[in-house]
C-alpha cells in the first residue's frame, strides 16, 4: 500500500502543515510518497525527502505548478494516482489543500474526506462537523481515499531523519484556465498562526485597530503569533488571515490568550484544542470563560499591561 501526500510549500520550504499530513499518512501505514509540484521547487523537495517517514519524493518542477493553482495540479495528480497506484491521496487542510483535493476526488469519482483529526483504520477516520460540536466517524468504500488532514489532529513528523529518494516526474499538460496575478501576503516577524506555540488573540472588545497595539508587547514577550476573532476581523481591526475559528484558522497552541473575545461557538471551534487557554474579559458571564483554564475578569487595557510587567 502506498500513500501519496501532496506537499503544501512555497517552492523553497514545506509549509508546516505538510509534516502533520505526513504524520497522518504514516499512521495509516504503508509507503509514504510525497509529491512536490512547483516551479523551482528543488529545495522544497529536498526538505520533504528529509522528513521522517517519507520513502520517496516525486518532484514535478514546472512553471505550470509554480503558483499552486488547482486546475493543472489536480489533473496532474489524477494522472499519477488514477491507475490505482495509491490507496490514499492526502493533502493538508490549508487553503491550498482544500482547493485541490476535492477536484482530485471528483476526477477520480470518489468521495473526499475533509479535515480528519484521527485515523481509526485504513478506511475509517474521525472528522469534526458542525464547527466541532460533533465528531463523525466515517468509513470510505472507495478504492482511493482522498483526504484532507487537519494539522492540529496530528503531531508533525520530524523535519529531519528521513532518507527519502527524490525522483523527477514529467509535468502534465496546461489547461490554460487560470493565472496568478499577484499576492499580498502579510509580512510578519512573528511565527505563523497555525504553527505557533503561543497565540495572543483579540476580539471585538479591543474596540479599534489601534488597541491591538496593546497586545503586541505581550506577543513579543511570549514569542507569540497574533490572532483575532471573526468580529474583530469583520470590524476591520486586523487583516482577515488573522481569523481563528470555524471558517478561519484552526489552531491548537500550547498557550492561547483570548483577550476581549466573548467566545462565540464559531471562535471556540478554532481554538478549543489549545492546551492551556487564558481569557481576559470584562464580562464575567462571557462564554469564553467556560473553556478557559485561567480567567481574569477585568478591563483588558489594565490587565494586559500588568501582565506584560509581571512577565518581566
State yes or no: residue 231 binds another protein (CB under 8 A).
Answer: no
Q: What angle do CA 17, 20, 23 make, to 5 degrees?
A: 155
Q: Interface residues for another protein in 88-107 (CB under 8 A)?
A: 94-96, 98-107
Binding another protein by CB under 8 A: which of 155, 234, 283, 299? 234
CB of 159 to another protein, least distance (A): 19
Q: Are 159 and 19 in contact (CB under 8 A)?
A: yes
Binding mask 131-160 for another protein (x = CB under 8 A): xxxxxxxxxxxx------------------
State yes or no: residue 14 binds another protein (CB under 8 A).
Answer: no
CA–CA separation, 229 and 234 (whole Å): 9
Size of the site for another protein (CB under 8 A): 91
Identity of the residue, 22 or 250, whose beta carbon is nearer to another protein in the bound complex: 250
Binding mask 19-58 for another protein (x = CB under 8 A): ----------------------------------------
Three cell numbers, residue 279: 481569557
Q: Which residues of 60-75 are buried (b: 16+ CB within 10 A; e: fewer)?
A: bbbebbebbbbbbbbb
Identity of the residue, 113 or 261, whose beta carbon is nearer to another protein in the bound complex: 113
Three cell numbers, residue 267: 471562535
- Give the 3-state secondary structure of residue 175: coil
CA–CA separation, 263 and 195 (whole Å): 22
Q: Interface residues for another protein in 237-266 (CB under 8 A)?
A: 239-241, 246-247, 249, 254-255, 265-266
Alpha helices (H) along 213-280: 216-222, 230-234, 265-271
CB of 166 to another protein, least distance (A): 26
State yes or no: residue 129 binds another protein (CB under 8 A).
Answer: yes
- Give the 3-state secondary structure of residue 293: coil
CB of 31 to another protein, least distance (A): 25
Amino acid at each position: 500500500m502506498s500513500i501519496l501526500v501532496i506537499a503544501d510549500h512555497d517552492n523553497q520550504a514545506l509549509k508546516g502543515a505538510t509534516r502533520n499530513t505526513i504524520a497522518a499518512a504514516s499512521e495509516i501505514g504503508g509507503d509514504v510518497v510525497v509529491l512536490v509540484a512547483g516551479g523551482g521547487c528543488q529545495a522544497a523537495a529536498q526538505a520533504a525527502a528529509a522528513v521522517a517517514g517519507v520513502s520517496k519524493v516525486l518532484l514535478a518542477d514546472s512553471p505550470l505548478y509554480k503558483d499552486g493553482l488547482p486546475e493543472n495540479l489536480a489533473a496532474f495528480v489524477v494522472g499519477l494516482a488514477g491507475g490505482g497506484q495509491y490507496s490514499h491521496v492526502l493533502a493538508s487542510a490549508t487553503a491550498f489543500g482544500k482547493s485541490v483535493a476535492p477536484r482530485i476526488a471528483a476526477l477520480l469519482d470518489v468521495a473526499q474526506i475533509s479535515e480528519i483529526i484521527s485515523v481509526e483504520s485504513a478506511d475509517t477516520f474521525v472528522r469534526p462537523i458542525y464547527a466541532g460540536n460533533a465528531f463523525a466517524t466515517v468509513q470510505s468504500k472507495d478504492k482511493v481515499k482522498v483526504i484532507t488532514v487537519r494539522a492540529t489532529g496530528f503531531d508533525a513528523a520530524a523535519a529531519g531523519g528521513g532518507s527519502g529518494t527524490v525522483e523527477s516526474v514529467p509535468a502534465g499538460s496546461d489547461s490554460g484556465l487560470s493565472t496568478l496575478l499577484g499576492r499580498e501576503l502579510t509580512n510578519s516577524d512573528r511565527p505563523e498562526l497555525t504553527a505557533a506555540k503561543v497565540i495572543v488573540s483579540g476580539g471585538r472588545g479591543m474596540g479599534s485597530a489601534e488597541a491591538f497595539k496593546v497586545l503586541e508587547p505581550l506577543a513579543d514577550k511570549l514569542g507569540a503569533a497574533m490572532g483575532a476573532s471573526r468580529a474583530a476581523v469583520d470590524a476591520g481591526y486586523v487583516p482577515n488571515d488573522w481569523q481563528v475559528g470555524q471558517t478561519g484558522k484552526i489552531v491548537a497552541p500550547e498557550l492561547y490568550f483570548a483577550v476581549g473575545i466573548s467566545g462565540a461557538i464559531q471562535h471556540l471551534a478554532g481554538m478549543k484544542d489549545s492546551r492551556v487557554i487564558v481569557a481576559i474579559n470584562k464580562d464575567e458571564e462571557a462564554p469564553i470563560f467556560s473553556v478557559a483554564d485561567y480567567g481574569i475578569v477585568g478591563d483588558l487595557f489594565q490587565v494586559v499591561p500588568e501582565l506584560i510587567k509581571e512577565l518581566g
